[in-house]
Amino acid sequence: MHFHKFEKIWLTFGIGALVLFLVILGYGAFYLGTHPQSHGVTIDPQNVEAHEAFKPENLGLTKVDEDRYIVNVVASAFHYDFGVDADGNAINHIEIPKGATVLFQVVTKDVIHGFNIAGTNVNMMVEPGYISSMEVEMNQAAEFTLLCNEYCGIGHHMMYTTVEVYQ
Ligand code: CUA
């Protein structure tokens, strides 16, 4: 079979580009740990409290084991509900020890919100009717901004809080 010279160049370019893209994809997935959130886990957005994880007393940060935590959050326009502290005040800041494995479980009661801890791999779309969850190892000690990155209305830019990972 005879290949024209230009055809060989074009084939080499095409196959090379495919290999390059697969390498980039593999680097992101396996080295950087980027992966999509859960999908297909449904919940009634009118009644998220009916789910064990989203009962008011189960919201916020919970330690489940040595170095293992769960963070349950109910998003709504325009804030994240982490539950209340012992004095009944709304919690708007969470602190996690460095190296901990954290399972974030987030739902929304109204419209689509985002759940992005800027500078980490935590970046989820939160859709009404679905539970968005992602497990991440928090390996960098810093104060991160948790923000909504899906436009959700007039107060969208006010929808943020902080997550501190301490040494
Ligand atoms: Cu919530 Cu934008």
Residue 75: what pLDDT?
Answer: 95
Say what the pTM is.
Answer: 0.82
Ligand 1 atom at minimal distance to the Cα of residue 112: 1
Average pLDDT for runs of 10 along the chain of length 167 = 90 97 93 78 89 91 93 94 88 92 95 94 93 93 96 95 93
Question: pLDDT per residue over 49-89, tens digit each?
Answer: 899 999 998 999 999 998 999 999 999 999 999 999 888 88
DSSP 25-49: HHIIIIIS-------S-B--GGGGG
Ligand 1 atom at minimal distance to the Cα of residue 151: 2
Q: Residue 159: CB within 6 Å of ligand 1? A: yes
Q: Residue 131: CB within 6 Å of ligand 1? A: no
Rounded to the nearest whole angstrom, what is the distance from the C-alpha of residue 151 to the centroid of ligand 1?
Answer: 5
**Closest-CA residue to 105 (of 162, 30, 51):** 51
Residue 142: what pLDDT?
Answer: 95
